[in-house]
Amino acid sequence: MNTLENSIPFFDRNLVQLSVSIVLVTLFLIVRLVLLKLIKRRAKKHEMHYSREAYVRKLIDIALLLLFVSIIGMIWEISLKGLSIYFASVFTVIGVGLFATWSVLSNLTASVILFFFFPYRIGEKMKIVDKDMAVEGLVIDITLFYIKIKTEEGQIISYPNNLAIQKPIQQS
């Protein structure tokens, strides 16, 4: 009985945080379910390969989880000094991912953009217009980091996702 008596003051002091946390967990699960259904519907509508859908689902899950953990940390007032360092680090990584041409995060971000807005599917012909070296061929795979293109000569070229969203692409 002693443990129960000791836990009652905890619930009294933290009733607001517990209530908000429960609402937040429910909201997290609903948002996650809606986003995953949206991704599945989009992939089915555009006949995308299952692996592309799985990549985007994983990225969305990770992003939502990080956001959820951050908000829970703020609700429970976890060290603001530690959180400020955490947020500075997160914003730095996001900045690098969105703006650094050769970074891994840039390719991951581009992969999500390509999932929602890329008009070509595996098995279609395309030409990436580049003044230095144009790439033309059949799309054989689209991964988290690059698009694999098989040229007419049989050569397989891996073209980075972050460059694919920067260059004009023609349908062959």
Query: 101 or 95, which is more confident?
Result: 95
Token duo for residue 21: 């946390």
Q: What is the pLDDT of residue 99?
A: 62
Q: What is the pLDDT of residue 137?
A: 95
Q: Catalogue the E-assigned strands of the chain.
A: 125-128, 135-142, 146-150, 156-160, 169-171
CATH number of the structural domain 120-171: 2.30.30.60
Strand, coil or helix: 133: coil
Query: 118 or 8, which is more confident?
Result: 118
Query: 157 or 118, which is more confident?
Result: 157
CB 161, CB 107: distance < 8 Å: yes
Q: What is the pLDDT of residue 163?
A: 86
Token duo for residue 37: 């259904």
CB 159, CB 149: distance < 8 Å: yes
What is the pTM assigned to this prediction?
0.56
**What average pLDDT does this structure show over 30-34?**
95
Where is mean pLDDT largest: 7-16, 23-32, 70-79, 117-126? 23-32
What is the C-alpha separation between 152 and 137, in angstroms, rounded?
6
Q: What is the DSSP letter of 113?
A: H
